[in-house]
């Protein structure tokens, strides 16, 4: 392999790695899993919250509960206090999680679990969330799918078990990044070998 082709291959792999990192950052917003559930089913919903601000930690998260789901319980999270808000009929309409210590740094994320039943006539659940930082700024994740701050959406099917999970998606993303890293490592070894052969001549 010529040095010119090797440089082109190195540049191509670098672009792939940069694209993977960019894709990960684009999807770094408050997301509720699963992304698909069955009508009438009982589900464990997981709220994944990454901290995006480079200047201040995430100290509070508010989640509005869609009309198509009835939440009954939340899972305790060390270092965080949950405060559910109910309407006059006792239905939980929102939950606020507040950090008891420093909150989430820019390199951290948190997951909050809750149990709920999907309504028989629900078709899609729109989860509006509000992320508050230590400097007082608030990001409202309430927009449409194409906005910069989209609300997370769970699609509801007419029957059967819900599909998709946060764990499966995370594992798939990790496998892709690991494969790209391995390719970059192999390319580096090839480059070193070629450079060594060139010096021997």
Q: What is the pLDDT along the chain (201 residues), one digit of tens a residue?
A: 566 555 555 545 543 443 333 333 334 589 999 999 999 999 999 999 998 788 899 999 999 999 999 999 999 999 999 999 999 999 999 999 999 989 999 889 999 999 999 999 999 999 999 999 999 999 999 999 899 999 999 999 986 544 444 444 455 566 777 777 787 787 777 777 776 666 666
> In what helix (H) or strand (E) does residue 9 lie, and over which residues does it extend?
helix 3-26
pLDDT for 172 equals 58
pLDDT for 6 equals 55
Give strand ranges (E) for 87-192.
92-99, 109-118, 124-133, 138-141, 152-157
pLDDT for 46 equals 98
pLDDT for 194 equals 73
pLDDT for 187 equals 78
d(CA 50, CA 160): 31
For residue 161, the tally of other CB atoms under 10 A from its CB is 11
> In what helix (H) or strand (E) does residue 31 lie, and over which residues does it extend?
strand 31-33
pLDDT for 180 equals 78
d(CA 196, CA 189): 11
pLDDT for 174 equals 60
pLDDT for 20 equals 39
pLDDT for 117 equals 97
Contacts (Cβ under 8 Å, ≥6 apart) of 194: 1, 3, 6
């Amino acid at each position: 392999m010529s040095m010119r082709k090797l440089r082109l291959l190195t540049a191509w792999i670098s672009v792939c790695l940069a694209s993977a990192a960019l894709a990960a950052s684009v999807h770094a917003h408050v997301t509720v899993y699963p992304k698909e559930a069955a009508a009438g089913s009982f589900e464990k919903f997981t709220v994944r919250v990454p901290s995006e601000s480079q200047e201040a930690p995430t100290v509070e998260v508010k989640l509005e509960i869609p009309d198509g789901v009835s939440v009954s319980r939340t899972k305790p999270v060390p270092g965080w206090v949950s405060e559910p808000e109910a309407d006059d009929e006792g239905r939980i309409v929102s939950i606020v999680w507040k950090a008891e210590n420093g909150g989430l740094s820019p390199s951290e994320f948190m997951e909050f679990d809750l149990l709920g039943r999907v309504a028989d006539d629900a078709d899609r659940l729109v989860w509006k969330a509000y992320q508050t930082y230590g400097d007082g700024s608030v990001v409202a994740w309430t927009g449409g799918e194409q906005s910069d701050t989209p609300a997370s959406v769970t699609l509801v099917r007419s029957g059967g078990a819900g599909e998709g999970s946060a764990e499966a998606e995370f594992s798939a993303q990790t496998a892709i990044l690991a494969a790209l890293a391995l390719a970059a490592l192999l390319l580096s070894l090839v480059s070193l070998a070629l450079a060594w052969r060139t010096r021997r001549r």
